[in-house]
């Protein structure tokens, strides 16, 4: 069989009429044989189909070889498309020829294994149908974001990952030796995006962020994909409207393009299509009041953790903006609120159903003295931020932006218990292999 002849398995169901001879190839998802008939479930990138092979049609040698193929072994098949009510989606391929590419060793993964074992076997576990569906949805989400930015004339940038200062203070930065000086893995691309905003006005970056957070919560990874956006001439109202439009647009695109995967993972696409702007907005102070009524021991100045964020959105189907956080809780570059000096013009977008923060957004402080004051307050050195302060010295303008945790969105959209299920090779405090 020559390589050009093969069709994707999806074509067996879509365009190939019963009676047509096709060539397909892929990996064996399931295998059994009885009474001189062999059954394979064969998977490729496009789908899964049942293949049947009869000893009398294949010949003894080929039948015996095919019978020895393990789960996840690879084969090429030539056969006829046939209707069969008992088969998956009503069709199967009746093989006239099966070439074993690699019979494979016994596959180590089967049902009822521990989470730890499956994480050790992650390089193989990512072949599961569940993983395939998760990462197709994630890819679709990234595509939808890029399409949205394209339409909105937001330009993709490539900020560095290796940096000489820990952007938001040192505690959570991974430090390493950079030729005798300290180097850090990027915690955020934001400061670089702010610099790139002056020549491009509307920029975004989709890059990994690294946080040396020891907190073992189901929503923290030490490496995650951060989608960061920076917009010139943008005030707080504009910022929230941009975020809303983006989320609705992207969620609807994914619902329309991946209904099968969403349904199989427990998220009916209709639920995403029901999400509409505007999202509810509440001030941090109001969130504190609500939480106090629910019995949480919080006061103005308390950080909202997993439990508090969960309580605020457990009953809602739409995301929620919490705005005007106390200045001390937030990063040094956030704009001090003109109507409440204790607060910053910042908003976190909380996912519905208790999933918690998915976006951190703010207007950026334009007053250089205030930025310096806050840098000193967090215990950092002003001279390390001189290049950033230059941005306020040359054509300073109002601007705003946000960072969205891609895996946080996938976790909510796909109702995953733990964020590690939303990335193929999760990095957590206890694991950086495979
Ligand atoms: P949290 O309070 O949940 O730790 P954060 O306030 O530190 O989040 P930001 O610095 O605003 O988060 O980062 C922007 C976005 O990146 C967050 O809204 C979140 O979606 C995501 N994010 C932050 N930290 C992590 C992490 N450790 N793992 C996965 N995603 C994260
Ligand atoms: Mg954090």
Query: Which sequence spans correspond to the domains of the chain?
Result: 3-102, 119-422
User: What atom of ligand 1 comes closest to residue 403's alpha carbon?
Assistant: 14
Nearest bound ligand to the CA of residue 357: 1
pLDDT at 169: 61
Tell me how far the alpha carbon of residue 366 lies from the centroid of ligand 2, in angstroms: 24
pTM of the model: 0.96
Tell me how far the alpha carbon of residue 222 lies from the centroid of ligand 2, in angstroms: 10
Distance separating alpha carbons of residues 119 and 396, to the nearest angstrom: 48
- Please give the CATH superfamily to which domain 3-102 belongs: Nucleic acid-binding proteins (2.40.50.140)
Nearest bound ligand to the CA of residue 325: 1
Tell me how far the alpha carbon of residue 30 lies from the centroid of ligand 1, in angstroms: 40
Tell me how far the alpha carbon of residue 137 lies from the centroid of ligand 2, in angstroms: 25
In degrees and rounded to multiples of 5, residue 214 shows phi and psi of: -80, -15
Nearest bound ligand to the CA of residue 361: 1
Cβ atoms of residues 221 and 210 within 8 Å: no
Angle at which helices 129-151 and 236-257 cross, to 10°: 140
At the topology level, CATH places domain 119-422 in BirA Bifunctional Protein; domain 2 (3.30.930)
Nearest bound ligand to the CA of residue 330: 1
**In a 10 Å sphere around its CB, with 0-12 CB exposed, 13-18 middle and 19+ buried, how is residue 10 labelled?**
middle
Tell me how far the alpha carbon of residue 189 lies from the centroid of ligand 2, in angstroms: 15
Nearest bound ligand to the CA of residue 207: 1
Tell me how far the alpha carbon of residue 417 lies from the centroid of ligand 1, in angstroms: 17
Which spans in 45-155 are helix H? 55-58, 60-67, 115-120, 122-125, 129-151
Token representation of residue 233: 């001439």
pLDDT at 89: 86
Each residue's pLDDT expressed in tens, for the chain with a length of 434 residues:
555 689 999 999 988 889 999 999 999 999 999 999 999 999 999 999 999 999 999 999 999 999 999 999 999 999 999 999 888 889 999 999 999 999 999 999 998 899 999 999 999 999 999 999 999 999 999 999 999 999 999 999 999 999 998 766 657 899 999 999 999 999 999 999 999 999 999 999 999 999 998 877 899 999 999 999 999 999 999 999 999 999 999 999 999 999 999 999 999 999 999 999 999 999 999 999 999 999 999 999 999 999 999 999 999 999 999 999 999 999 999 999 988 999 999 999 999 999 999 999 999 999 999 999 999 999 889 998 999 999 999 999 999 999 999 999 999 999 999 999 999 999 999 999 99
Cβ atoms of residues 325 and 348 within 8 Å: yes
User: What atom of ligand 1 comes closest to residue 356's alpha carbon?
Assistant: 3
> Mutate which of 360, 404, 423 to test ligand 1's pocket (most atoms within 8 Å of Cβ)?
360
- Lining ligand 1 with CB less than 6 A are 211, 213, 220-221, 224, 226, 357-360, 403-405, 407-408
Identify the residue whose C-alpha is closest to ligand 1 atom 1. 357
Distance separating alpha carbons of residues 159 and 229, to the nearest angstrom: 12
Tell me how far the alpha carbon of residue 386 lies from the centroid of ligand 2, in angstroms: 25
Distance separating alpha carbons of residues 281 and 294, to the nearest angstrom: 19
**In a 10 Å sphere around its CB, with 0-12 CB exposed, 13-18 middle and 19+ buried, how is residue 365 labelled?**
buried
Identify the residue whose C-alpha is closest to ligand 1 atom 30. 405
Which spans in 15-82 are helix H? 55-58, 60-67
Tell me how far the alpha carbon of residue 269 lies from the centroid of ligand 1, in angstroms: 26
User: What atom of ligand 1 comes closest to residue 402's alpha carbon?
Assistant: 14
Closest to 402 in 3D by CA, of 366, 370, 364: 364
| Entry field: residues in the chain | 434
Tell me how far the alpha carbon of residue 187 lies from the centroid of ligand 2, in angstroms: 10
Identify the residue whose C-alpha is closest to ligand 1 atom 4. 220
Cβ atoms of residues 163 and 184 within 8 Å: yes
């Amino acid at each position: 069989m020559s390589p050009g002849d093969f069709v994707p398995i999806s074509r067996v169901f879509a365009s190939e009429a019963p009676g047509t001879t096709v060539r397909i190839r892929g990996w064996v998802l399931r295998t059994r044989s009885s009474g001189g008939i062999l059954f394979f479930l064969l998977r490729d990138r496009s789908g899964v189909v049942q293949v049947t092979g009869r000893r009398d049609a294949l010949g003894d040698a080929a039948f015996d070889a095919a019978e020895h193929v393990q789960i996840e072994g690879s084969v090429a098949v030539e056969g006829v498309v046939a209707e069969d009510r008992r088969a998956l989606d009503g069709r199967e391929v009746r093989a006239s020829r099966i070439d074993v590419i690699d019979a494979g060793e016994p596959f180590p993964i089967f049902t009822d294994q521990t989470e730890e074992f499956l994480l050790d076997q992650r390089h193989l576990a990512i072949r599961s149908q569940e993983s395939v569906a998760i990462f197709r949805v994630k890819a679709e989400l990234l595509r939808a974001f890029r399409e949205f930015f394209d339409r909105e004339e937001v330009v993709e940038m490539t900020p560095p990952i290796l940096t000489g200062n820990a952007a938001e203070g040192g505690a959570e930065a991974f430090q390493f030796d950079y030729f005798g000086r300290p180097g850090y893995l990027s915690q955020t691309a934001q400061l670089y995006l702010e610099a790139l905003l002056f020549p491009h006005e509307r920029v975004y970056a989709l890059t990994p962020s690294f946080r040396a957070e020891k907190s073992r919560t189901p929503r923290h990874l030490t490496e995650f994909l951060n989608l960061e956006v920076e917009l010139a001439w943008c005030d707080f109202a504009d910022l929230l409207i941009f975020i809303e439009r983006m989320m609705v647009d992207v969620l609807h695109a994914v619902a329309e393009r991946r209904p099968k995967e969403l349904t199989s993972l427990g998220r009916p696409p209709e639920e995403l299509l029901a999400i509409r702007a505007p999202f509810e907005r509440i001030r941090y102070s109001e969130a504190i009041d609500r939480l106090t009524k629910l019995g949480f021991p919080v006061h103005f100045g308390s950080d909202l953790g997993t439990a508090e964020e969960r309580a605020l959105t457990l009953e809602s189907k739409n995301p929620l903006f919490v705005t005007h956080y106390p200045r001390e809780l937030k990063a040094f570059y956030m704009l001090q609120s003109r109507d409440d000096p204790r607060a910053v013009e910042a908003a976190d977008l909380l996912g519905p159903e208790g999933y918690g923060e998915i976006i951190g957004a703010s207007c950026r402080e334009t007053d250089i003295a205030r930025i310096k004051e806050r840098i000193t307050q967090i215990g950092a050195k002003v001279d390390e931020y001189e290049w950033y302060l230059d941005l306020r010295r040359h054509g300073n303008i109002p601007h705003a932006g946000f960072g969205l945790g891609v895996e946080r969105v996938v976790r909510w959209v796909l109702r995953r218990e733990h964020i590690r299920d939303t990335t193929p090779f999760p990095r957590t405090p206890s694991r950086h292999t495979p």
